[in-house]
Structure 1
Amino acid sequence: MNEKKQPSNRQLKIGQQIRFLISNFFIKEDFVFENFDSKNLTVVDVVLSPDLKIAKIFVITNSFDTNKLLINELNNKSKLIQKKIALNLTSKFTPKLKFFFDNSFEYSDKINNILETINR
């Protein structure tokens, strides 16, 4: 069987620290996006690989129509973001950052709509 391992306490702790640092970076820094306001970004979750070398950062924004552009721009600027959060991260090294759009809210809306149509 192919069971997923639960993340370790260290993965969870560093993931939450990265989430906090990136969120603060978007709010406080003068981080310039071409088409977006960084204050409208929300970091939903950070999932670290078991070796702590890769961090998958899941984000959402108010405008759902520009998600691919946003993710591309975030991934293009990930080295800069990585350097900025490395200054405050309590870890030997800073994981490589990969940004993804979190579509769990859209998925839950679809499920709710399906359940509503069934209950009618």
Structure 2
Amino acid sequence: MSGEKLPSQRQLRVGELVRHALSAFLSRDEILDPDLDGAFITVPEVRMTPDLKLAKVYVMPLGGQKVDVVVDALNRNQKFIRGQVAPKLDLKYAPQFRFYADETFDEAGRIDQLLRSDHVAQDLDHEDQDDDIQDH
């Protein structure tokens, strides 16, 4: 870790509350923006700042299509989204939303690709041989 503090239980709890509320709202397709027409958007994660005033919302359109277009459209409409979602949160302050592309899918793909690489497979085969030698 690069000195970054782990989120508190409260940040995690509020982040999950915001994630559920945003997921429900986005599934209703109420935002009048041509860039969001027909877009099915998942919200895998919401990270709250320690003061709970900013929600970093990570999103991914189904199929990973037009990610940048969708993220830009959500950020353009964040005031409307906040106005619709905040009353359902029952928080002292309504957090502002900042939308980002969720890159964990890409990261998982890169890790999977690395694990399947010849170099890693060679190391794993070598470890198996070492285990066989120790078993005798």
Q: TM-score, normalised by structure 1?
A: 0.88
Deviations 1:37-86 (A, max 9, x none): 24x11001000111111110001112434111111000000011101111
- Structure number with bigger Rg: 2
The SS at the match of 1:84 is: helix
Q: Which has the higher contact order (CA 8 A, sep 6+)?
A: 1
Deviations 1:12-31 (A, max 9, x none): 11111110100000113533
Counterpart Cα distance in 2 of 1:74 and 1:5: 28
Matching residue of 2:70: 70
Q: 1:2 to 1:69 in 2, by over 3 A?
A: closer
Matching residue of 2:59: 59
More off after superposition, 17-26 vs 3-12: 3-12
Counterpart Cα distance in 1 of 2:71 and 2:2: 30
Counterpart Cα distance in 2 of 1:17 and 1:56: 13
Unaligned runs of 5+ in 1: none
Q: In proportion to residue count, which structure has more helix?
A: 2
| Pair 1:92 & 2:85 matched | no
State the percentage of identical aligned residues. Answer: 29
The SS at the match of 2:59 is: strand
Q: Please, what is the CA RMSD of the aligned residues? A: 1.9
Matching residue of 1:80: 80
Unaligned runs of 5+ in 2: 123-136
Q: Which amino acid aligns with 1:98?
A: R
| Pair 1:47 & 2:65 matched | no
Q: TM-score, normalised by structure 2?
A: 0.79
Counterpart Cα distance in 2 of 1:52 and 1:71: 21
Moved beyond 4 Å, runs of 4+: none
Q: Which amino acid aligns with 2:57?
A: I
| Pair 1:30 & 2:30 matched | yes
Q: Report if aligned partners of 2:35, 2:73 keep a CA contact under 8 Å in 1.
A: no
The SS at the match of 2:112 is: helix
Deviation at 1:2, TM superposition (A): 5.3
